Amino acid sequence: MKEEERGLSAAGQRRKPVAGCGARGGGCFLRIAGLFLVLGGSGHLRFPSLYDASAWRALLTGIAMIAAGAVAVALGARLSRHGRRHTARIIERPEELADNSFVLFLRPFEEDRKLYEVKAANTRSLRARYSAPISRTYEEEIVWSLRRRFGRVVAVGRPGERLPLPGAHRFYLPLDDWQPVVSDLIGRARLVVLVAGTGPGTLWELTEAVRLLPPGQLLLLVFGDEAAYRRFQECVPEVFADRAEELRREGGEPVPAPAFPDYPPLCDPATGITQRGLRGIIHFGPDWTPAFVRYDFTAVRALTLTGKLLKAKRTQLDPVLRRTEQGLPEAVPPRRAGVRWPVQRRRDRRGVGRPR
């Protein structure tokens, strides 16, 4: 890849790491201040006599403080998320990543909007939402789970984005020559995690992963509902047939399409809670037989919804990740592979820090 093509999208980004650090600090301050406002407002409502105020005055003051605290917490979470986009790390030379030292996270770019949403409790209860993480995004939650087990997580950045999303370390590829680089990274990754989708790029990445990897080095994440998953199911055989014909013309060996199972229903379909975020994980047996493990919080018992979500993750998803980890090649300590903080690249352009 030519030097001017590499990082073409990253060059046009407007990241300001100092401002990002300030935004993250300001967001943390707003969330803490908002929490104290909510607690103070609750005190006015429950114990108005402590503040030497009439019942109506204490009621109005308490409601105003709780509302202001909720707004401060929401703004703080949003500000922290935006700050993390400015301080996100970029990989300038993905070809220099060491073999078996990284997890390749592939997803349809259309899913970025969902992955950037704040991972909060799936409930209308204000108390449950305040007790759940309110700043970490879905992608950050996934990356944290993958990184602590499998190593560094890298992903292709969306072409033309002004700021990278927080989570996986991004690298950028030219629009007309991305497939060879992605194919090379799929073959060298310790683990490939693919978000199921019906886009042509995502389906090509699936065929390439099945062609190049052993079954134990591929995981599929399902974020869509049953209708979206059914569309994915229907697209897979046709795409694999076209890919097999292409490989025959090139003298390669065709790749059979995995027979993906149906979408498992919730244990309690009558639940009034709308499930958001990850719906399940698909892993593969030695003969490429896929198994769909549903992330089903209705199948476990706990006192709170947050407890159910944590218990479901611990009993349903973590065993899949443990079995996958046991079958992977030994991790290689990662090299820095051209990863720099944005401020370092700015100093290089000014001639500061270069060897003389």
Tens-digit pLDDT profile for residues 241-258:
999 998 888 888 888 899
38: helix, strand or coil: helix
Give per-residue burial for 270-291: e unless 16+ CB within 10 Å, then b. Answer: eeebebebbbbbbbbeeeeebe
**What pLDDT sits at residue 214?**
94
pLDDT of residue 55: 76
Apex CA 51: angle with CA 45 and CA 52, to 5°? Answer: 115
pLDDT confidence band for 336 (50 / 70 / 90): low
pLDDT class for 264, splitting at 50, 70, 90? very high
15 touches 86 (CB < 8 A):
yes
pLDDT at 124 over 90: no
The pLDDT mean for the chain works out to 82
Residues 6+ apart with CB under 8 A from 146: 103, 105, 153, 191, 193
Do residues 221 and 281 touch, judged by C-beta distance below 8 A? yes
Residue 334 confidence (pLDDT): 58
Whether 197 has a pLDDT exceeding 90, the answer reads yes
Instruction: Give pLDDT tens digits for 12-60.
Output: 567 788 888 898 889 889 889 988 998 888 888 887 777 666 778 888 8
Q: What pLDDT, in 10s, does the model give residues 134-168?
A: 567 888 888 988 998 999 999 998 888 888 888 89
* Mean pLDDT to the nearest integer, 172-197: 92
| pTM across the whole model | 0.78
Output 336 or 197, whichever has higher pLDDT.
197
Amino acid at 197: G
In the predicted model, what is the mean pLDDT of residues 165-191? 91
Section 85-105 average pLDDT = 88
pLDDT at 347 over 70: no
CB 318 within 8 A of CB 354: no
Q: What is the DSSP letter of 313?
A: I
Are the C-beta atoms of residues 5 and 177 closer than 8 Å to each other? yes
How buried is residue 264: exposed, middle or buried, by Cβ count under 10 Å (0-12/13-18/19+)?
middle
Q: Is the pLDDT score of 3 beyond 90?
A: no
pLDDT by residue (tens digit) across 206-237?
A: 999 999 999 999 999 999 899 999 999 999 99
pLDDT at 288 over 90: yes
DSSP state of 297: G
